[in-house]
Structure 1
Amino acid sequence: MQKVSVHLSKKVADGYVIPLGPANLVAVITDVGLVGCGAFDVAALDSFSYPAAKVRPAKGPSIVTTDDILTGIIKEVNRGAMSRGITNGMTGKQALELL
């Protein structure tokens, strides 16, 4: 597992890359919620009142790095994330700035 610091405008988040065979499980987590790759079930996280969104790659076939999370396009948002202003179509970095 790789852990990196992701610098946002008002805080530092933790980025994680976990190799899972042919794919990586990738997320950036703030003190409030997370933006992750397509493997995350953001609806399930909503049942814990945990704001979460997932991204699709802006380029390439899949999310591989935390930079891919930042440049990725939000494709699914749970209620907790929506209440913080996160919407489909924004970048992962824009969403993280709201968490």
Structure 2
Amino acid sequence: MSNHEHQHVAADGLATDHAGRIRRRLLTDAEFDALPVVVGVETAATALGISRTPAYRLAKEGGCPCRVIRIAGTYLIAKADLARCLGRGSTVSPGDPAGSRS
């Protein structure tokens, strides 16, 4: 599932379709790279190019393309899994303990 196939993402994160219409703000590469090891559903939704409500519905119903971690009613997504869903390369730095779990 790649939201970037038919969109262009400008440096400010605004995604446009093939006709140049602004669709939704996505994370820039720099913003994505700066994310912590796990993120909330709203941040993952922004990265995936979907809105908040459908993202929470997918997380709750088990339809999210990324593995969802639920802790006391909070839904979290691992940055590495989000990167996989987006078709991005490794985003874990070598000194990061999560890097050893690839």
**Given the two structures, how large is their TM-score scaled by the length of structure 2?**
0.27
Greater strand proportion: 1
Structure number with greater Rg is: 2
Higher helix proportion: 2
| TM-score for the superposition, normalised by structure 1 | 0.27
